[in-house]
Structure 1
């Protein structure tokens, strides 16, 4: 059957939602792995990642059930939610890719000032103390504190922030286009009649 047919639309939509399911499980798994190996101690960060993973899992589940059963109501809500997610994700991805070095530095400083537990993780993993200035009498989780020769964390974070933002922005942009593809597939699939159904039945 041609790809414009009912079966092809259904299979493409199911495949797309299986991909979203795998991504959601991967997000939840990475958060659990970070806690298990002690890389992340901030429950706020882990909670956000797990919440995004669970949200994506439920969206994918709604889309999968709607695609398999050709359920008009589920497909409608799936299409609306996916469109809203696309708008938010596309905007955030473009913002990540558009930030210059000065804006990245300001963003890092705001994040540093507002998260104590994430600050401890950064100091321990990057082996640095303080943001722009290292004070030997302040508490720090890094091993370098024993030798009192610690680098500030800001220069180290700024080395990687541009690369991380480009990576996150690129991945987000890629998935935002898969979401608009999902919206288009869902719209087309909703308006197709199942060839196995009663011809006189309402679409």
Structure 2
């Protein structure tokens, strides 16, 4: 059967949703690994990663059930949700790739000021204290605080990796946004194809 046929559309859609399922489980696993090894203590950060993983898993499950059963309603909602996710993810990915050094610094400072637990993780793992300057009255879990040498501020250390991380996240997001628009197109085509094994008089 040619690749434009019913079976090929069904198999491609199932494969795409299995990929999304693996990615969602990977996200949840990374969050659990970060907690287990003490790399992340911020419940907010872990909660966001797990929530994204569960959301992606549910979308993939809806798409998989809709593809296997050729369920018109599930496929319609799957297509709409995937289109909305594509718009958001494409916008965020382009923003990550377009940020300059000054904007990255402002974004990092806002995140630093609003996440106390993540701030402690950064100071402990990067062995630095404070964002641009260190206030002795603030809490710092870095090992350098116990030595006679002054601790380095975290902003220059984070700044060295921020650009690379944003480019990596933006690139991965851009790649997956194109798989999502492929999923929308496959779902639209698959919904309008008739199952050759079904009753010829049945509607789709």
TM-score, with length taken from structure 2: 0.98
Contact persistence 1:120–1:141 (CA under 8 A):
yes
* Gap regions ≥5 residues in structure 2: none
Alignment of 1:141-156 (within 5 A): 141-147=141-147, 148-156=149-157
Please give the alpha-carbon distance, in whole angstroms, between the structure 2 residues aligned to 1:95 and 1:178. Answer: 19
Once the two structures are TM-superposed, the CA of residue 180 in structure 1 deviates from its matched residue by: 0.1
Deviates more, 1:141-150 or 1:154-163: 141-150
- Deviating above 2 A after TM superposition, structure 1's stretches of 4 or more consecutive aligned residues are 134-138
User: Number of paired residues?
Assistant: 203
SS in 2 for 1:50: helix
* Gap regions ≥5 residues in structure 1: none
Give the structure 2 partner of residue 195 of structure 1: 196
Say whether 1:29 aligns with 2:29: yes
Once the two structures are TM-superposed, the CA of residue 137 in structure 1 deviates from its matched residue by: 4.4
Once the two structures are TM-superposed, the CA of residue 139 in structure 1 deviates from its matched residue by: 1.7
Cα RMSD of the aligned pairs, angstroms, is 0.7
Give the structure 2 partner of residue 7 of structure 1: 7
Please give the alpha-carbon distance, in whole angstroms, between the structure 2 residues aligned to 1:6 and 1:149. Answer: 67
Contact persistence 1:24–1:56 (CA under 8 A):
yes
Please give the alpha-carbon distance, in whole angstroms, between the structure 2 residues aligned to 1:92 and 1:25. Answer: 22
TM-score, with length taken from structure 1: 0.99
